[in-house]
Amino acid sequence: MGFVRFTLCLLRNSTQRKHVFRWLRSLRKDYLLKKKQPWLVFDAIDFLNSLPLEGKRVFEYGSGGSTLFWLNHGAECVSVEHNPDWYKLMHHRLKGMDRIDYRLVLPEPADDKKVRDIADPNLYLSEDVLSLGYNFRNYVCQIDPFPDNFFDVVMIDGRARPSCIMHSADKVKKRGFLILDNADRVYYTARTIEYLEHFDCLSFFGSGPINDLQWQTDVYIKLK
């Protein structure tokens, strides 16, 4: 949308104008890493900041400012990353920190390289053009060895998100949270909603760091 137009858009929005200066500050280099903030909608970040996270168990698909956020709040974190360059950068930042299990898990060549349905959780695919011809089965399955009802928080902000939902829903504790970013991309839940039937959903739509657009972060709360 552009810097000026998006600033005006926020100022005209009664629910989002409070984030104008926050958004402007987020344009600084390495903002998320320096602020130890997840790349979610601002209102979703505020919700997470309101939670008691000390000693909680977190599993996240996709690393970055969110990893630093969990650790800064006293949580234990298992973080799975697919990008070796980003992993190297984050590994340096995480050096010497406790309570972090940081894993690099590369995608694997797909047996069938035809264009397939990215909404199908059984195919472990990503819409990212750089991921064409690959699947993320091993990446997604990193959560499988953990017991059901083990994690207080699972955050899905990486690759093959429908597959991540399928594998992680049972791993969330009762009253725990499953966080799905970019939830306005309807294909994430088009064929996975059955795995979320025992969750309530809080949807946060609005502005967030860096992007000059609004998007949606959904926080699912497990009821049983």
Which pLDDT score is estimated for 129? Answer: 87
Provide the token pair at 191: 């064929």
CB 85 within 8 A of CB 194: no
Which pLDDT score is estimated for 132? Answer: 87
| Per-residue buried b or exposed e for 4-40, using 16+ beta carbons within 10 Å of the residue's own CB | eebbebbeeeeebeebbebbeebeeeeebeebbbbbb
Whether the predicted pLDDT of 137 surpasses 90: yes
Strands 215-222 vs 151-156: parallel, antiparallel or unpaired: unpaired
CATH fold, domain 32-222, is: Rossmann fold (3.40.50)
**pTM for this model (two decimals):** 0.96
Which pLDDT score is estimated for 159? Answer: 97
pLDDT level of residue 66 (50, 70, 90 thresholds): very high
Give residue limits of the domains in the chain. Answer: 32-222
pLDDT level of residue 115 (50, 70, 90 thresholds): low
CB 126 within 8 A of CB 83: no
- How far apart (Å, rounded) are the C-alpha atoms in residues 186 and 20? 27
- How far apart (Å, rounded) are the C-alpha atoms in residues 131 and 34? 29
DSSP string, 30-89: THHHHHT--SS-HHHHHHHHTS--TT-EEEEES-SHHHHHHHHTT-EEEEEE--HHHHHH
- How far apart (Å, rounded) are the C-alpha atoms in residues 46 and 163? 27
What average pLDDT does range 63-72 have in this prediction? 98
Whether the predicted pLDDT of 122 surpasses 90: yes
CB 216 within 8 A of CB 184: yes
Which pLDDT score is estimated for 16? Answer: 97
Whether the predicted pLDDT of 3 surpasses 90: no
